[in-house]
Every structure is written in C-alpha cells, then in structure tokens.
C-alpha cells in the first residue's frame, strides 16, 4: 500500500517538478551580446481604444515605430522631421548597453505645369503652343539619439537609466525652371505661380531658388530614467522620461531671383536675404523613443 501511494505521489509531483525546473530555466532578462528593437505602443493602444469607442470610422494606425526627437512644439517646421524612428540596443554586459534612436526623412519631388509659349505667340497671335515650367522640392530631416544605459534588478522588473547625445537637422529647398526665357525683349515672361512659392520676390523678379524654412540644427544632451517589465522571456514593456538640454540654431533664409535691370540694360540674378537666422536653448523633460514602449531582445 505504501509503495502504491509513493508511486501515485511521484506521478503527481514529477510533472510539476519538471514544470518548475523549466520555468526556472527561462531567461526573461537580456544578456550580454543581445540585440534589441523597440516600438512605441501608444499608437497601437489608441487604435484599439478607438475601435471600441465608436470612432473606428476614422481610426488609423499611423505607425508602430519609435517616436523620434521631434515631439516638442519648439520645432520651426515639424512636417520636415521624421514621424517614425528605429529604436535599438546592444547589450555590452548584462547591465550595460549601447542604445540608439534614429529617424530619417529624405524627400524630393518634381512638379510641372504648362505655360503659354511667349515666343510662338509673338510670331503667331493664334498660336496655342505651350512650354513647361518645373519646380523641384527637397525636404529633409534627421533625428539621432546615441547613448548608453545601465539596468538594475535581477527579477522581471528592472530600472533602466541612461544618457546620450542628441542631434537633429531639418532642411527645405525649392528650385524652379522656366520654359519662357527672360530677355531684353520679353522682360515679363509668362510663368506658373506654383503653390509652394513664397510671396513675390523684390521688384517683381522671378524666383529661381529659395529655402523657405531654411535649415535648423539641434545639438544637446539627454538623461533618462524608466522601468522595463518583462512580460515574457526577452519581451519587455517599458516606460521612461527624459531630461534634455539642447541648443538650436537656424540658418538664413533667402530668395534667388532673376529680372531685367533697366538701369544696367541687362538680365540679372540677385539674392535677397529674408531672415538672418536665429538660435535658442531648451531644457526640460520629454519622451524620446516612446513614453510607453515594447522591446524585443534576441
């Protein structure tokens, strides 16, 4: 009878012992040599919430990447900056890691439109010939955070502390090509008024190039503190806040244009400065990468 009880107890307890042993063998926390990628889960949670509150008609999942260094209202032109970034880490040891948050936007567009061919119209008043005007736009933005982090804690919840260098850059330029040449005979050629063009140049000259928003550069330092909760092996849900100090400086904005100078009796190109450039300094708390994020270690 005693042997039978022992066999039954062994049959009942053995699977539990194996399960406990297997659970102990699971590695929840990151280790030396691990790589990691993170995503901001706030857009996902917002999408799920909207799906259940009756607003799913306009519900869109805009991005699941990280939030780059563009969330503040102190940016001159947010539309030039990236909306999504790549969040990554590399574990140097079990406690120390290199981290990066990089966002990039590079855009180039060409727009074309027809204008009346002035030369053909001059030779034939009934001419319907046309020429092509062109506009070329460049919109660039980059956001980079490079630094290190230290984590404290041996269980599934760890404190994460970090610091790093910030760099961001944005630039906007436009250039125009005109089908009707500006000459001594045709001093006011027919040209397209493209929507992107700023106010009319000085003296009514025709725009050739302009940097409407100019170039802005951001340099600084950041420190961070947060937590990561490992909801599964090598999968963590985290939140952090950053304390940032950075310097902002912007370049001059200008318009390059062409027109006929009646005093000199020739076509000339001129450059007019619109703004002399500016600068500033910012110090405060914000969220870089994601106020609530999920990180996958592998």
Residue 250 has a pLDDT of 87
Query: Ranked by mean pLDDT, which of 79-88, 121-130, 198-207 comes out on top?
Result: 121-130
DSSP 195: T
Per-residue pLDDT at 57 exceeds 70: no
Give the pLDDT mean for 172-185.
93
- 95 vs 91: CA distance, rounded Å: 8
Share of the chain above pLDDT 90, in %: 49
pLDDT category at 25 given cuts 50, 70, 90 is low
Q: Is pLDDT larger for residue 199 or for residue 249?
A: 249
Residue 242 has a pLDDT of 86
For 236-254, letters b (16+ CB in 10 Å) and e give bebebebebebebebbebb
Query: Ranked by mean pLDDT, which of 53-57, 158-162, 281-285 comes out on top?
Result: 158-162
- 211 vs 277: CA distance, rounded Å: 12
Give the pLDDT mean for 287-293.
71
Per-residue pLDDT at 6 exceeds 90: no
Domain ranges of the chain: 31-297
Helix (H, G, I), strand (E, B) or coil at 279: strand
The closest alpha carbon to 84, from 139, 42, 137, belongs to 42
Q: What is the mean pLDDT of the chain?
A: 83
pLDDT category at 11 given cuts 50, 70, 90 is very low
Question: What's the CA dihedral at 42, 43, 47, 52 to 10 degrees?
Answer: 20
How many other CB atoms sit within 10 Å of the CB of residue 4? 8
Per-residue pLDDT at 93 exceeds 60: yes
Residue 192 has a pLDDT of 92
Per-residue pLDDT at 124 exceeds 50: yes
Q: Which of 99-108, 207-216, 286-295 has the lowest mean pLDDT?
A: 286-295
Q: Is pLDDT larger for residue 4 or for residue 253?
A: 253
CB-facing half-sphere around the CA of 298: CA atoms within 13 A: 5
Q: Are 194 and 113 in contact (CB under 8 A)?
A: yes
Spell out where 117-156 has E strands: 130-152
């Amino acid at each position: 009878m005693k042997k039978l009880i022992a066999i039954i107890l062994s049959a009942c307890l053995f699977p539990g012992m194996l399960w406990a042993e297997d659970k102990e063998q699971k590695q929840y926390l990151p280790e030396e040599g691990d790589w990691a990628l993170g995503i901001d889960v706030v857009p996902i949670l917002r999408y799920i919430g909207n799906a259940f509150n009756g607003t799913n008609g306009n519900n869109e999942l805009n991005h699941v990447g990280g939030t780059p260094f563009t969330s503040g209202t102190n940016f001159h032109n947010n539309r030039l900056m990236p909306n999504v970034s790549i969040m990554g880490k590399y574990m140097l040891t079990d406690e120390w890691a290199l981290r990066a948050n990089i966002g990039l936007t590079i855009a180039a567009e060409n727009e074309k439109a027809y204008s009346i061919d002035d030369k053909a119209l001059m030779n034939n008043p009934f001419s319907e010939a046309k020429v092509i005007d062109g506009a070329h736009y460049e919109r660039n933005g980059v956001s980079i955070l490079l630094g290190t982090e230290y984590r404290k804690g041996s269980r599934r919840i760890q404190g994460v502390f970090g610091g790093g260098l910030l760099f961001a850059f944005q630039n906007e330029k436009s250039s125009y090509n005109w089908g009707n040449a500006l000459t001594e005979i045709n001093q006011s050629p027919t040209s397209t008024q493209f929507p992107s063009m700023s106010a009319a140049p000085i003296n009514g000259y025709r725009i050739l190039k302009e940097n409407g928003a100019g170039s802005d550069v951001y340099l600084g330092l950041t420190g961070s503190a947060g937590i990561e909760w490992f909801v599964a092996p090598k999968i963590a849900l985290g939140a952090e806040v950053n304390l940032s100090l950075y310097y902002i400086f912007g370049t001059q904005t200008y318009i390059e244009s062409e027109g006929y100078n009646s005093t000199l009796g020739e076509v000339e190109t001129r450059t007019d400065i619109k703004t002399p450039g500016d600068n500033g300094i910012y110090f405060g708390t914000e969220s870089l990468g994601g106020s609530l994020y999920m990180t996958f270690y592998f």
